[in-house]
Structure 1
Amino acid sequence: MGTSATTTAGLRISVLLLLAFFTARISITQAATNGGDLSVLNSLKDVWANTPPNWVGGDPCGDNWDGISCSGIRVTSITLSSTGLSGQLSGDIASLSELQILDLSYNKGLRGNLPQSIGNLKKLTNLILVGCSFSGPIPDSVGSLTRLTYLSLNSNGFTGTIPPSIGNLINLYWLDLADNQLEGSVPVSDGDTPGLDLLVNTKHFHFGKNQLTGSIPTKLFNSSMTLLHVLFDSNKLTGNIPPTLGQVNSLEVLRLDRNSLTGTVPGSFNNLGSLTELSLSNNDLNGPFPNITGMTVLSSMDMSNNSFDSSSFPSWISSMGSLTTLMLENTQLQGPVPAGLFSLPNLQTVNLARNDLNGSLDIGPSHSSQLQLIDMQSNFISDYRQRPGANDVDIILLRNPVCDETPNGPRQSYCIPPDRNSKYTTPSNSCVPGRCSSNKTASPNCACAFAYTGLLVFRAPSFSDLGNATIFTALQRSLMDSFRSTQLPVDAVQLSNPRKDSSEYLDIDLKVFPYGQDFFNRSGVSRIAFSLSNQTFKPPSMFGPFFFLGDEYTHFDGGGSGSKKSASTGIIIGAAVGGIVLVLMVILAAVYAFRQKKRAQKATEQSHPFAHWDATENTGGFPQLKGARCFSFDELKKYTNNFSDANAIGSGGYGKVYRGVLPTGHLLAIKRAQRESMQGGHEFKTEIELLSRVHHKNVVSLVGFCFEQGEQMLIYEYVPNGTLGDALSGKSGISMEWTRRLKVALGAARGLAYLHELADPPIIHRDIKSANILLDERLTAKVADFGLSKLMGDSEKGHVTTQVKGTMGYLDPEYYMTQQLTEKSDVYSFGVVLLELATAKRPIERGKYIVREVKMAMDKTKSLYNLQTVIDPAICNESLKGLDKFVDLAMSCVHETGADRPSMGDVVKEIELILQQAGLNPNADSVSTSATYEEAEKGSPRHPYSKESFEYSGGFPPSKLEPQ
């Protein structure tokens, strides 16, 4: 009895010591993440099952919790797709006031209602919950998320009506509510009540596969809209098709099929000259068969199963050269089929079944080489004239007289239904796949791995030949190009089993294989899923609009179901030795005091990454950092493959820049100084402190630095689309239309205004030029290179007297003459950049100075200010709305006297006004990921840190103007 009591008391002491041990650890751990954000994430962790295993500790931002992205100490993004999350979305999420992206797609275990408080996420731009199990009504508070550009709630179980408040989302680009159980009518504005007709900037209306009722409101569409896709298929809509649809000239895809629509097809449809896919099938449309010859680029037309007036086959169809798919089953057509129809050069499939067509079928001697199928069963075809070369075309004439004449004779092939199932699978890349163990699959590169799988669903493909390997090879290549351009850890993709479902959607099985190992981590899967759910991936145009339904990925540890068994075994073993562990804790507690000092030192190093900073070499005290991380030299060696030449992406007077890859797959640009060009420790510390306090969408972010083993390195975010200078000169292959230039100007101005007016203390850049403005994957402008920057915190005169530094052509002449630096010196340099944007000329070119050339050519009484010979020829054929005000602004920025120049805040307001007058939204991204930006476009853009860009851009300028 005494022994038992002693053992119990000992265990109690062990437990108390264990609690003391962890309490002490917590007390010396300083969480960098905002306390409110940390509380919200812990709340989500409590209500969700299967959260990532590294969601531990008190610093999600500093500890890189899977799926969590931060700006400084604030959580800005939660992306956790296909990770097996289950539970409900807590209303606490509304407290993440800086959250911009929420993507929880492909987690079938997420269920319940969306909280009404979600409307408090005022900075949210992307709300993506595809393929979950959410239910109940969509809260009308989503109409308060006025910054939303993507609202994707498709493939859930939402009920109720479409909230009219969605009409308030003036920045919305993508609206997808398809494949739910929504009911009621489509809301339009009425007095003070908003409606979907107000979404004039939205490109995508996806409402298919719901239970919407009533007629499609005439007011829903108007000529101000810029819609590309309107999908109302598979609902319960009634009434007439609104003629106002014909006013949306931008429309490319229209699906109204599988409803109960009546009346005639509006004559205004003939105005839809950009339409490529039209499906009105399975309604009760009547009247004459519509003439739509104005749809000159129409690829796919499906009018099947309607009640049109009986008429002969429309002869005008034979003139529609873009047609690939013609579906006119059960449309009351009669008479012979013209042979010219089958000579359309792109024609692949013709379905004329269940009509009253008669006579002889003749596909002509020069039928389309792409023709695959002619289905004319259940007509009155009396003869089929076979032509040479027609053996590759599947022809179906079942239940026609031509197949009934010889019932006892041998059946012709056209009287037997062909097997149209496609067996396509991406082939191996010149290798022989071996046998893969466990649940692994051989990739096209013949490597065995745990693939990330899912279903690609294309809602309106313009082709119908599912056996065409060339088409699917193009899709495979497009996927890989997209994944590579966004630096995703993907080695290969495999496509298989293309088939049409009951809604005429094209379904394709997708497998994505990991790069460098045989399984993905959570970050890799979430990033891949986000690129598909957020429409970052752009398929070839013939595939049309798509969505993705990802499967849960269960192999994050390289295991799967087998690892669960191992985990269960581990739990049993752990329970068996639990008592022993508690006893051992007594011993650990005994040495705790000895090790406490080391733990405290380690905690100090984590909160002060310059704990090893050598203050004896005139470097001053530890740098005061805001978000930047101290990297060890060994870490950067590993990330750059020992600073190999293969990872070198640029060089200059300062040193070299290397591409580094974090274990998460994210890329870095690592700027490594040469020995002879290194700054003093104090100057290096000052530059790091300056950069670490800069956090803005339009300013390149400092990720961290390294100051050990005699090295000075700065680590920046990797910006993929080069410098503005490279874009204007054509080096990067990016198309720079006039409106795109306006957006770039606005982004750069906002970044510079932030430095002048919101940074604490204010910062003068001192080297603004087109080579120091970088373009990210959305062509958002980012101000870069702070090597010459100055703080204004210690100045009470509004200027800093300093040695003149800068780049010829951009240098403020007043600063050059007086050596007094003010923020207006940056304004002058920015004015030169504005002139570059309009002319694509370098500031000093062949002895001519751009500012002087524009002044001499300007004549405000003439069209375009008489600048036709100066303006960039690449934009001369565009409608240069706002050019006059743009040039006026540039010239005010380059005024000789700084006091007469506008502030950067005023510059921002003026550019915003120019954009608004040009009919553009100044708050939209430069290039949305769902816009028609064709991947920089058709070329491989050089990276901003490439050797070529340094030759012009001055990334490490060897010729800074530095008078002594």
Structure 2
Amino acid sequence: MSQRVLVVLLLVLNYVLVAEGETADGDLTTFLSLINTWENTPPNWVGSDPCDDWVGIKCKNSHITSITLSSTGLAGQLSGDIGSLSELETLDLSYNKDLTGPLPESIGELKKLATLILVGCSFKGPIPDSIGNMQELLFLSLNSNSFSGPIPHSIGNLSKLYWLDLADNQLQGNIPVSSGDISGLDKLHHAKHFHLGKNNLSGSIPPQLFSSEMALIHVLLESNQLTDKIPPTLGLVQSLEVVRLDGNSLNGPVPPNINNLTHVQDLYLSNNKLSGSLPNLTGMNALSYLDMSNNSFKPLDFPGWFSTLKSLTTLKMERTQLQGQVPTSLFTLINLQIVVLKDNKINGTLDIGSSYSNQLRLVDFETNSIDSFEQKDEVPNVKIKIILKDNPICQENGELESYCSSSQPNVSYSTPLNNCQPGTCSSEQILSPNCICAYPYSGTLTFRSPPFLDFDNKTYYSMLEEGLMNSFKSHFLPVDSVLLSHPSKDSTQYLELSLQVFPSGQNHFNRTGAFSIGFLLSNQTFKPPKVFGPFYFVGDKYEHFENSEGLTESSKSSNIGIIIGAAVGGLVLLVLLLLAGLYAFRQKKRAEKAIGQSNPFRRWDTASSKSEVPQLTEARMFSFEELKKYTKNFSQVNGIGSGGFGKVYKGNLPNGQVIAIKRAQKESMQGKLEFKAEIELLSRVHHKNLVSLVGFCFEHEEQMLVYEYVQNGSLKDALSGKSGIRLDWIRRLKIALGTARGLAYLHELVNPPIIHRDIKSNNILLDDRLNAKVSDFGLSKSMVDSEKDHVTTQVKGTMGYLDPEYYMSQQLTEKSDVYSFGVLMLELISARRPLERGKYIVKEVRNALDKTKGSYGLDEIIDPAIGLASTTLTLSGFDKFVDMTMTCVKESGSDRPKMSDVVREIENILKSAGANPTEESPSISSSYEEVSRGSSSHPYNSNDTFDLSAGLPYPKVDPKNLVIVKHRVDVQGISKQNKNIIVKIYS
């Protein structure tokens, strides 16, 4: 943790002090944000510049262009700030199983991203629709996660996409195809890989999905819930090499034009409900693996065209109603290895002849009607396993023959030693094929359609080992050897192999070597021999990197044990330590007793009953069952928001009061300190511009905070347009004033003072009159007497709003809130996020500011929704507001004003604009409810007349002279000639 803090401080130091550093400011700030959301980042990220040879990071022209961090043990979530790395071209975070949470919507802002690989992590939730905005994307691999929901139609917009792999998730719904203006997968004419197997996709395979314009070579849809017929359009994609439709509920006949697919090597149609006649596959001369088992085809004599498939290695036709006698010519196919025709009606004599393939390994005719068997001559060095169990021939022979048993040899393989003598390795090291003890990089290779069933064929594994080594060497990776072992297959006929890659020249890989191996395997740079087909790799966390002392990290742990053992051996030192420990323990108990008398939270960590939880006079303790009842069992209908902490639910108390319940997720209960802090702080602060705490719940391993319900959501939602509320200039000034008053109260009237530490638009809520209420005190700190000037504390907050002086010094003051407030004011002016597309709003305003021009030269930055677009409308006091705001964001805290000074300045601006800073606007609750239900009504309108001066920078108007009709009315401005109000009325 201390090393992470050091990295953060060094990054921030570079950001604050260097105007044009090696890494662009926006990229540097974004990268700092990512580090704050991740754990277990590489410890050798040292220095102030990520572009200075940081492992896993590549840059070009001062911008980060590549992040490849596979098998690092990263934990946490992918921050939404990732979208600000505008020049990023490659993002590979594969094989980090503790990376979880949703994929942020902002991922779509990476317009230059060409490679996105997140294989073998724990991401969940829907794939964001914004992913279709990445027009340069070539490689999209999100397989082996927990993504759910539908496949986004927008993926069809990725016209350059080559590789699409969404397999092994929990995706649902139909396969998306285009309709009208909506794109679908049928638009991906350049894609060669559709890997969508092992999901919960349903519905039919759309005929529109395939056309002669497609360049597909792999269509993998196995193990879903697809229904209806196989579309005949499949036969139009003559580039196909692998087709897997098995493990679904497809029905009807196989389209006869499927034999147009003359390049197909692997065809899986098994485990469906296919019917009709068995398709004639004559002409499919590249076909190597054919499996149509477990369907409902019409009874058919064994077709002679099987013997024409010259490339056939494996034929599986279990339970397909085949009958008659198998011709001897089938076994003469020179590549044939496996024939499995179990549970059919094959009869007569099984004759494999004398010219059978010297690769033949297994002939399985279990449960048929064969009454005799002939094998004229055995081919030297060829051992064939014949299985005729449960045939008449075995009943006649009393099942004494070897072929009357169904047992098959156990599959086992491990790369043999390379003409060397094995040695003894330490407990954590493994012997390589070259007899070198080392720490290998390991994982599992999975082949999705190996065109063979002979998993014990050592020749294939030798080919694979050679291919892997050639690939590593051609990319100049420090690999000495590879070890393949433990081959196995699962119910979907996937072949899994354990892979261990051994380092060259030393007994461990450095981080660059490990990341490079992971990236080579994750982005499919390695091309296996064709006999193995498409694959994916899931790597294990690599923990044996070298530290600064020249030891691997695991070795260092072992040495610590030796040191501890030596220390324990010092008897005298041990006695002294025990005595010192006893003394310290007694002192600690005395201190805890003294502190505990004034600390109502001292027993929460071990609380087992309500009596042990503090009963605060201003906050009611709710039971879990009560809150469950008030929220209708935390129903989705009552959900009103979510964040990193968990979800927020709306509830109703028996007395009619509406409440908001913030319920922490199990994994985000960071929070015992923050949880205590928020309850303790909110139970003793009371101000109309602070959200009121109603109570809390701390039982059933739950952490819940119960607040007053603030009706109109967050300021962030209002500025973004999400809530449907439009904010004019005067209303924005009043929101700024309310926020400032709340902060001034915390800083100057509460004893001891409180620093909020996380002021941002998402934490400013708007009530039914659009009054601002400061919320979320989870990061707040009290200024005790011993810390009158500052609190020394770990840096926490939200990127973009954080005070740079606090960044550098870790010294928190009330002026840190002032800086965050200043950023919030710039957000009010611009409706832009503080960090957006690599641009920092404070820097953007500073660069654009020109006091000699109207609106200070900020016309391009000001939010048009304020009303400045109208030539008849001006923003009264805008220049003074900007002056005050820029003072709040000065780099030195001593140069910033106090919040009470800010309050007075905003009050004066409002007065100069003709508005009363103490007057509240009328409630907009009814009109806002209309908007939330989909009405087009303006949120400030109602069926009654109202006073325009309460929320708009106009002179007083007699309400009797203004008729509000049941249509949308937008006030555009005031005519300078006759003072008439200019409006637009929408029918």
How high is the TM-score relative to the length of structure 1? 0.56
How far apart in 2 are the matches of 1:41 and 1:351? 56
* Amino acid in the other structure paired with 1:374: V
Q: How does 1:595-634 map to 2 (within 5 A)?
A: none
How far apart in 2 are the matches of 1:178 and 1:32? 39
Equivalent of 2:174 in 180, 185, 195: 185
Matched, 1:288 2:277: yes
- Distance apart, 1:385 and its partner CA: 1.6
- Distance apart, 1:421 and its partner CA: 2.6
| Residue 40 of structure 1: aligned partner | 30
Closer, same or farther in 2 for the Cα pair 1:333/1:42, shift >3 Å? same
How far apart in 1 are the matches of 2:558 and 2:373? 64
Q: How does 1:250-289 map to 2 (within 5 A)?
A: 250-289=239-278
Larger radius of gyration: 2
How far apart in 1 are the matches of 2:258 and 2:358? 30
Q: How does 1:324-343 map to 2 (within 5 A)?
A: 324-343=313-332
- Between 460-469 and 375-384, the greater mean CA deviation after superposition: 460-469
Matched, 1:401 2:392: yes
Q: State the identity %.
A: 57
SS in structure 1 at match of 2:194: strand
- Distance apart, 1:438 and its partner CA: 2.7
Closer, same or farther in 2 for the Cα pair 1:369/1:72, shift >3 Å? same
Q: How does 1:549-948 map to 2 (within 5 A)?
A: 549-557=538-546, 559=552, 561=554, 563-564=556-557
* Amino acid in the other structure paired with 1:554: E
Equivalent of 1:244 in 233, 240, 244: 233
Do the aligned partners of 1:454 and 1:548 also contact (CA within 8 Å) in 2? yes
* Amino acid in the other structure paired with 1:534: N
- Runs of 4+ deviating beyond 6 Å: 22-30, 567-573
| Residue 161 of structure 2: aligned partner | 172
Do the aligned partners of 1:422 and 1:499 also contact (CA within 8 Å) in 2? yes
Do the aligned partners of 1:421 and 1:499 also contact (CA within 8 Å) in 2? no
Do the aligned partners of 1:276 and 1:298 also contact (CA within 8 Å) in 2? yes
* Amino acid in the other structure paired with 2:384: V
Matched, 1:516 2:505: yes
How far apart in 2 are the matches of 1:442 and 1:67? 28
Do the aligned partners of 1:489 and 1:524 also contact (CA within 8 Å) in 2? yes
Do the aligned partners of 2:13 and 2:48 also contact (CA within 8 Å) in 1? no
How far apart in 1 are the matches of 2:418 and 2:288? 32
Unpaired runs of 5+ in structure 1? 1-18, 578-964
Over the residues paired in the alignment, what is the CA RMSD in angstroms? 2.4
Do the aligned partners of 2:285 and 2:309 also contact (CA within 8 Å) in 1? yes
How far apart in 2 are the matches of 1:26 and 1:471? 58
How far apart in 2 are the matches of 1:527 and 1:133? 22
* Amino acid in the other structure paired with 1:57: G
Matched, 1:195 2:181: no
How far apart in 2 are the matches of 1:27 and 1:182? 47
How far apart in 1 are the matches of 2:269 and 2:277? 14
- Distance apart, 1:226 and its partner CA: 0.5
- Distance apart, 1:353 and its partner CA: 0.1
Unpaired runs of 5+ in structure 2? 1-8, 568-575, 578-987
SS in structure 1 at match of 2:234: helix
Post-superposition CA distance 1:677-699 (Å, at most 9, x none): xxxxxxxxxxxxxxxxxxxxxxx
Post-superposition CA distance 1:594-613 (Å, at most 9, x none): xxxxxxxxxxxxxxxxxxxx
SS in structure 2 at match of 1:45: helix
Equivalent of 2:211 in 222, 225, 247: 222
How far apart in 2 are the matches of 1:486 and 1:77? 18
| Residue 476 of structure 2: aligned partner | 487
Matched, 1:50 2:40: yes
Q: How does 1:406-421 map to 2 (within 5 A)?
A: 406-407=397-398, 411-421=400-410
Do the aligned partners of 2:15 and 2:25 also contact (CA within 8 Å) in 1? no
Equivalent of 1:474 in 447, 463, 484: 463
- Distance apart, 1:335 and its partner CA: 1.1
Do the aligned partners of 2:14 and 2:48 also contact (CA within 8 Å) in 1? no
- Distance apart, 1:31 and its partner CA: 4.3
Matched, 1:392 2:383: yes
- Between 496-505 and 510-519, the greater mean CA deviation after superposition: 496-505
Equivalent of 2:357 in 368, 386, 391: 368
Closer, same or farther in 2 for the Cα pair 1:160/1:515, shift >3 Å? same
Closer, same or farther in 2 for the Cα pair 1:73/1:285, shift >3 Å? same
* Amino acid in the other structure paired with 1:486: H
How far apart in 2 are the matches of 1:296 and 1:242? 22
- Larger RCO, structures 1/2 (Cα 8 Å, 6+ apart): 1
Post-superposition CA distance 1:196-226 (Å, at most 9, x none): 0000000000000000000000000000001
Closer, same or farther in 2 for the Cα pair 1:473/1:301, shift >3 Å? same
SS in structure 1 at match of 2:283: coil
- Distance apart, 1:465 and its partner CA: 2.1
| Residue 303 of structure 1: aligned partner | 292
- Between 53-62 and 165-174, the greater mean CA deviation after superposition: 53-62
* Amino acid in the other structure paired with 1:482: S
Closer, same or farther in 2 for the Cα pair 1:570/1:100, shift >3 Å? farther
* Amino acid in the other structure paired with 1:289: L
Do the aligned partners of 2:200 and 2:225 also contact (CA within 8 Å) in 1? yes
SS in structure 1 at match of 2:103: coil
How far apart in 2 are the matches of 1:239 and 1:23? 62
- Distance apart, 1:411 and its partner CA: 1.6
How far apart in 2 are the matches of 1:24 and 1:48? 20
* Amino acid in the other structure paired with 2:198: K
SS in structure 2 at match of 1:392: coil
Equivalent of 1:533 in 502, 522, 528: 522
How far apart in 2 are the matches of 1:565 and 1:509? 27
How far apart in 2 are the matches of 1:567 and 1:453? 26
How far apart in 2 are the matches of 1:568 and 1:158? 42
Do the aligned partners of 1:285 and 1:306 also contact (CA within 8 Å) in 2? yes
* Amino acid in the other structure paired with 1:147: E
Do the aligned partners of 1:445 and 1:492 also contact (CA within 8 Å) in 2? yes
Post-superposition CA distance 1:737-787 (Å, at most 9, x none): xxxxxxxxxxxxxxxxxxxxxxxxxxxxxxxxxxxxxxxxxxxxxxxxxxx
How far apart in 2 are the matches of 1:237 and 1:396? 34
Matched, 1:150 2:139: yes
Matched, 1:204 2:193: yes
How far apart in 1 are the matches of 2:26 and 2:120? 29
SS in structure 1 at match of 2:505: coil
* Amino acid in the other structure paired with 2:391: N
Post-superposition CA distance 1:403-432 (Å, at most 9, x none): 11243xx72111122333322211122211
Closer, same or farther in 2 for the Cα pair 1:282/1:72, shift >3 Å? same
| Residue 12 of structure 1: aligned partner | none
Closer, same or farther in 2 for the Cα pair 1:421/1:80, shift >3 Å? same
Equivalent of 1:92 in 69, 81, 87: 81
* Amino acid in the other structure paired with 1:403: C
* Amino acid in the other structure paired with 2:220: L
SS in structure 1 at match of 2:323: strand
Do the aligned partners of 1:394 and 1:418 also contact (CA within 8 Å) in 2? no
Post-superposition CA distance 1:19-66 (Å, at most 9, x none): 99x98999699842112211122211111110000223311112x212
Matched, 1:383 2:372: yes
Post-superposition CA distance 1:709-742 (Å, at most 9, x none): xxxxxxxxxxxxxxxxxxxxxxxxxxxxxxxxxx
SS in structure 1 at match of 2:170: coil
Closer, same or farther in 2 for the Cα pair 1:23/1:536, shift >3 Å? closer
Closer, same or farther in 2 for the Cα pair 1:92/1:23, shift >3 Å? closer
Task: Count how many residue pairs are aligned between Structure 1 and Structure 2.
Answer: 553
Do the aligned partners of 2:354 and 2:375 also contact (CA within 8 Å) in 1? no
Post-superposition CA distance 1:362-384 (Å, at most 9, x none): 11111110000011101111111
- Distance apart, 1:73 and its partner CA: 1.3
Closer, same or farther in 2 for the Cα pair 1:48/1:367, shift >3 Å? same
* Amino acid in the other structure paired with 1:441: I
How high is the TM-score relative to the length of structure 2? 0.54
